[in-house]
Structure 1
Amino acid sequence: VVGSGLVLAIISRSLPLLWRDALPARVRRALSESPGLFAAVIAVMALVLYCVIARYVFSARPLLIDELAQLLQARIYAGGALTRPVDVYPEFFSMLHMVDTHGTVYSQFPPGGPTMLALGELVGAPWLVGPIAGAVSALVFPLILKRFETRTGVIAGAAALFAFAPFVAYMSGSHMNHVTTLMWLMIAMAALACVITSKSPRPRVALLSGFGFAMAASIRPVDALAFALPAGIWYLSRALKDRTRWADALAAAIGVSIPMLVVMWVNTRTTGSALLFGYEVLWGKGHELGFHTPPWGDSHTPARGVELINLYMLRLQHYLFETPVPSLVPAILALALTRKLHAFDRYLLTSAGLLLGLYFAYWHDGFYLGPRFVFPLSAVLALWTARLPFLIRDRYGDGLLYRSTVYSMLVAVAMAAVFSLPVRTHQYRTGLLPLRWNADSAAAAAGVRDAIVLVRESWGSQLVARMWALGLGRPRTELLYRKVDTCLLDEAVMELERANIRGDASMAVLRPLLRDSARVVPTMLSSDHSERVLPGSTYSLHCARRIAEDSAGFTLLPPLLLARTKGIVYARDLHERDTLLLKRYTGRSVYLLKPPVAQAGAEPKFVRLSRDSLWSVWKR
């Protein structure tokens, strides 16, 4: 890349056609004269790109369990409720990240994210929320930069790099709440920049700033804290120096309080406490920030925190721009060449550092479409990347080094577009096929109506849902599932179900099974390698049947819970326990939904079942 840039720079000295000073000048002039129009053009182009990605790369569907849970909650909100009742037999309909205790079902996530999706759900297009939010961020970002960046070329370059960065574009085509969080952060920072650069108090704009930060907090509290805390300190310090600025500080505080009061009201109505979120109800205190034993996985220590931050940076090097040159290199070089920072630069860098510090103390490895926990850094990195050629020109002149830098960056972008992005797009477009399957269309084509559809999941997934229904809770279920032979655990759970032993009493029965936890290993008998086996153990006929079913193919229930066809009930196939549903839905036809073959990506098929045959088999 660098070599190609150097060669092009040398050739451009002899071929003026390769280097046109007039073109960048026209762009800078247009940006200076109509910054709003420039931002709008970038935003419209970004919106089109994000919509194409949403429809044709991600099939306009949620593909991660986080997205599924939040979209399910969005439908509850769109229906005019905060929760829905728990089914009498929750094991048939339960789902990861959905709280189903104390008689109600709701998402573990803060209410802001599902609320954003609910707006799309009301118009029948929740997939549009991400693209629109991403486009708003692309619109606002150059307007923020206009407040403190004097070089119009930097503003134009940063706006384009941010809006069309592959990491930003792919994420904006998804249902992930990182996109709406960043949108509100952008709005908040735009208002903050306006207030800070104003010579007189701007309480109304400060109110918008506080409101934006709080809206971001209603979606992703940690991300919002990283940017809101330095902003709050900035407001306070200015008020202490100039009493007229207390109007800004108080207005910002009022802006923060409005969404936060709503969040606390929702928490009170769902979790029972204003400051208790759903993920704590579901997973306990181990879900919080800090160095402790998490709900699953290894203990989170400072060493692991450093490991995770390093991993996020390595992933960001690749996923941000998808260029052959590591994505962070230009930004690092630009920082090294900078002699003096603007106050807003210090704010952004402080917030970026705080974001990394907070996730240093968080136990989970957040990866989807890239290092999603550091998604807000994409705008900061785009800005510093765009500054590099201008800093080189200011320091070393507009000679060979400057031209080599510009050409090297253009070559890197071209190589990403030609080589990296087609591969990445194909990877995303062809992945997670079971989650893309359109159950409504398939049911209509198969003539399925007014039916109970038993969805064949893996043996492990069935077992986990049954343990949840016993009242073991998510953390204890994770512990048992990961540390106990699946066959032994299944047979023990079956006995608990027959004896109707639940809650702490069921854990007391199952705890002795952990004595061999150090010896269990992932099974090679099933295609679901999350299942465990104790070396040397012998499987019963019952367990052998479950392994055979796994080998014959299985699918996923959660995406089917979002199916829209009325009259069709999708429920987890739990074999003998299915009689509980058949007694309830006496007049409906019964289908089994599973792939015909155990092949990755095989579409599931509806298989008509006879009620009499089912009763006969289950009575054996």
Structure 2
Amino acid sequence: MKPVTWLTIILGTLLIALFLFITSFETEIASSYIKLFPTQRDKSMVYWIDLTYMLYNELVRICIFIIATVYLAQNVNTQSLFNKIEGRLLKNTTATIGATVLLFTVLSTFVAAYILDAFPNSADEYAYLFQAEAISRGKLWDTPHQLKDFFEFHHIAQVNDVWVGRFPPGWPLVLAIGYLASIPTYLVNVVLGAVSLIVLFIFCKRFYNERVAVWATVCTAFTACVIFNAASFFSHTASFLELLLFVYFLYLYMDERKAHQALLAGFFLALLTITRYFTAFLIFIPFIVYLIYNLRLKSINAFILIGLGSIPPMAFFFWYNYTITGDPLLPVTMWAYNDEALGFVNGHTPAKGVEYVMRRILMFVAWVSPAFLILYAVLLWNKMKHKSKWLMHPEDYGFVLLMIGYFFYYHNGGNQYGPRFYFEAIPFVIVFAIVKVLQSRNRWGYALIITGTVYALVKIPIIASHEHAIIEEREHVYQLVEEKGVRNAVIFLSSGAGLLRPMPNKDLTRNDKSYKNDVIYALDLKEKNKELMDYYKGRNFYIYKRASRETMGELMVLKPQENLTLQTAGDN
């Protein structure tokens, strides 16, 4: 019997046994998870059971991936197969890239509009939109409600008379284009994602070759991580494009020594800095060494030009900080949230840092592909064995540096489409893996790229189905209000939304900035609710409650004249 047959039998038997075990003891297994994550008691049993089956299904797919890779490597001329696929892709490169970018744009738009329902699926995304909308009106902040305790929202600070999002202004500044151009804001990231693919192709073709450029662009375009982030309101698609343009113009400068290239490199590095400053800092570290090693004293000229190019974005950033916080060097995040810090603070520990790294690695496998993670780890290790290659292509180290840097950050990242703290480096991981496989012509490398790409494609509809179910749960309170025809009302949010990925009630207080919308969503502050009811006399009042084990909640009528007694909405 061939090794692949034995492998199939062994893995198949283990998977069947594991499935029978899980279905028999799903509650007990879920209960054991809860003990491992004592800080996440807000998550219900449904969440942990769903996680159990997700992990099992992922394990099944990984086993199939392993079997397929072994079969290809041992029974198929992988180089010949790879070359046949490549021949089709390279037959008309312009058509291939054009079709790739077009399909990516269509997929991302569909995911944004129909899978994610154009819904800011996290407090982060809503806060970005909050900031962008203010910037589109020429303002940096708004004035909070007089009874602001009812309208607290994660990542949106209410400090005295300032109501402002906590994030750096880079991404909101770009996102504001959607408001100014009167186009759906979810299209901004979609367009940036498409542009990123084009620039990635140009970059790889210029500094590697056409083969690398085509493979890297196609493999990057059709991963769930890239598609869903382009369909979201997160800042990562913009920050990747900024990073890519920085690297591209820096390399052009190294080749041609034209001052405007270094100026542009500095400009895009600064844009990345005011979008995600910790990410920019971490990824720039190897480039500092690269410039000094290659240019020696002439690196001073390069750093001066990069610094000059960075002036416009950084000047805006300092002005933004000064206008809001009174100190150009004090970011809004630190001003509004004095517990924001790196290191083992806010309950963060080395054990949690390891836990977060492991989670992000698992997300890489699920949202990108196990193939590129394997190839990156093995091939980077091989690169480190040759000192002459250490300082070539410093972007190769971005993934490792982000992994190390965010080990010291106390938050895991909340809702995310893949390991978003590592996102900016993921396309470079793919580029690195493809370059090294093409150079080595290793049959296992070819097999991994083929099966890994198929794995990534298969995951897209699977992930889409699960994420859409989460969106439906999180939007339930808003849909319930619409279904019941609730008008001229205040909804007190006693509960959060969803079981598959719970959303707290402080992520649901979404209103227009003047609080004049027909239905206003406020936190349920129990005995203090009467203050808001007195403030909004003439409105109807409801309370949204969801039992801890229920997927959907109920909308109850709240009658102030009866000492806040409740009855189901619609009942008389």
Evaluate the alpha carbon distance shift between residue 273 and residue 555 of structure 1 in structure 2; reply closer, same or farther with a 3 A threshold.
closer
Secondary structure at the counterpart of residue 591 of structure 1: strand
Rounded to whole Å, the distance in 2 between the matches of 1:601 and 1:108 is: 31
Q: Does 1:348 align with 2:298?
A: no
User: What's 2:540 paired with?
Assistant: 590
2:111 is the alignment partner of 1:60: no
Q: How many residues align?
A: 494
Task: Give, in angstroms, the shift of residue 426 of structure 1.
Answer: 1.7
Give the AA of the match of 2:393: R
Q: How does 1:23-422 map to 2 (within 5 A)?
A: 24-25=86-87, 27-28=89-90, 30-31=92-93, 39-122=97-180, 123-150=182-209, 152-198=210-256, 201-232=257-288, 234-235=290-291, 240-242=296-298, 246=301, 248-284=302-338, 286-291=339-344, 293-294=345-346, 298-301=347-350, 304-321=352-369, 325=370, 327-336=372-381, 345-366=392-413, 368-393=416-441, 402=443, 405-418=445-458, 420-422=459-461
Assess, with a 3 A threshold, how the Cα gap between structure 1 residues 562 and 163 changes in structure 2: closer, same or farther.
farther
Q: CA deviation at 1:90?
A: 1.2
Q: Which amino acid aligns with 1:427?
A: H
CA displacement at 1:430 relative to structure 2:
0.5
Equivalent of residue 580 in structure 1, options 518, 525, 531: 531
| Structure 1 residue 326 displacement after superposition | 5.2
Distance (Å, rounded) in 1 between the aligned partners of 2:523 and 2:135: 24
CA RMSD of aligned residues (A): 3.7
* Structure 2 gaps, min length 5: 1-64, 567-572
SS of 1:602's equivalent in the other structure is coil
Measured in 1, the distance between the counterparts of 2:559 and 2:494 equals: 20
The answer to whether the 8 Å contact 1:203/1:251 transfers is: yes
TM-score, with normalisation over the residues of structure 1? 0.70
d(CA) in 2 for partners of 1:319, 1:193: 30
- The 8 Å contact of residues 396 and 432 in structure 2, kept in 1 or not, is answered as no
Whether the 8 Å CA contact 2:89–2:96 is kept in 1: the answer is: no
Of 225-234 and 211-220, the range deviating more from structure 2: 225-234
Q: Distance in 2 between matches of 1:336 and 1:615?
A: 65
SS of the aligned residue for 2:192 comes to: helix
C-alpha displacement at 1:42, in angstroms?
3.2
Instruction: Report deviation, 1:337.
Output: 5.3
| Counterpart residue number, 2:490 | 453
* Residues 10-25 of structure 1 mapped to structure 2, 5 A cutoff: 19=81, 21=83, 24-25=86-87
Distance 1:67 1:334, change over 3 A: same
Residue by residue over 1:171-223, the C-alpha shift from the partner in whole angstroms, topping out at 9 and shown as x without a partner, is: 2221112222112111222211221222xx32222222111111111111011
Distance 1:343 1:255, change over 3 A: farther
TM-score computed with the length of structure 2 as normaliser: 0.75
- Secondary structure of the 1:147 match is helix
Deviations 1:25-84 (A, max 9, x none): 4644644xx5xx765543333222211221222111111121122222222222331111
1:569 is displaced (CA, Å) by 2.9
Shift, 1:282, TM fit: 3.4
Could you tell me whether the CA contact under 8 Å between 1:331 and 1:388 is conserved in 2?
Answer: no
C-alpha contact (below 8 Å) 1:162/1:168 kept by paired residues: yes
* Structure 1 portions without partners, runs of 5+: 394-400, 462-526, 531-553
- Range 364-373 or range 95-104, more displaced: 364-373
| Code of the aligned partner of 1:181 | S
Change (3 A) 1:28 1:278: same
Is contact 1:120-1:126 (8 Å) kept?
Answer: yes
Whole-angstrom CA distance in 2 between matches of 1:20 and 1:435: 43
Tell me how far apart the structure 2 counterparts of residues 86 and 415 of structure 1 sit (CA, whole Å): 47
Residues 598, 237 of structure 1: alpha-carbon distance in 2 compared, 3 angstrom cutoff: closer
Q: How far is the alpha carbon of 1:232 from its aligned partner?
A: 4.7
Distance 1:216 1:9 in 2: 41
Q: 1:353 to 1:444 in 2, by over 3 A?
A: closer
Deviations 1:547-568 (A, max 9, x none): xxxxxxx983633414698343
Q: Which has more radius of gyration?
A: 1
SS in 1 for 2:207: coil
Contact 1:193 1:344 in 2 (8 A): no
> In 2 relative to 1, CA 254–38 (structure 1 residues): closer, same or farther, beyond 3 Å?
farther
CA contact (8 A) 1:434 1:555 kept: no
1:570 corresponding residue in structure 2:
521
> Equivalents in 1 of 2:526, 2:74: separation in Å?
73
Asked whether the equivalents of residues 59 and 436 of structure 1 are also in contact (C-alpha less than 8 Å), the reply is no
**Residue identity (%):** 22
CA contact (8 A) 2:151 2:509 kept: no
Partners in 1 of 2:449 and 2:404 — Cα distance? Answer: 30
1:563 and 1:435 map into 2 onto residues whose CA distance is: 19
The 2-side partners of 1:436 and 1:345 are apart by 48
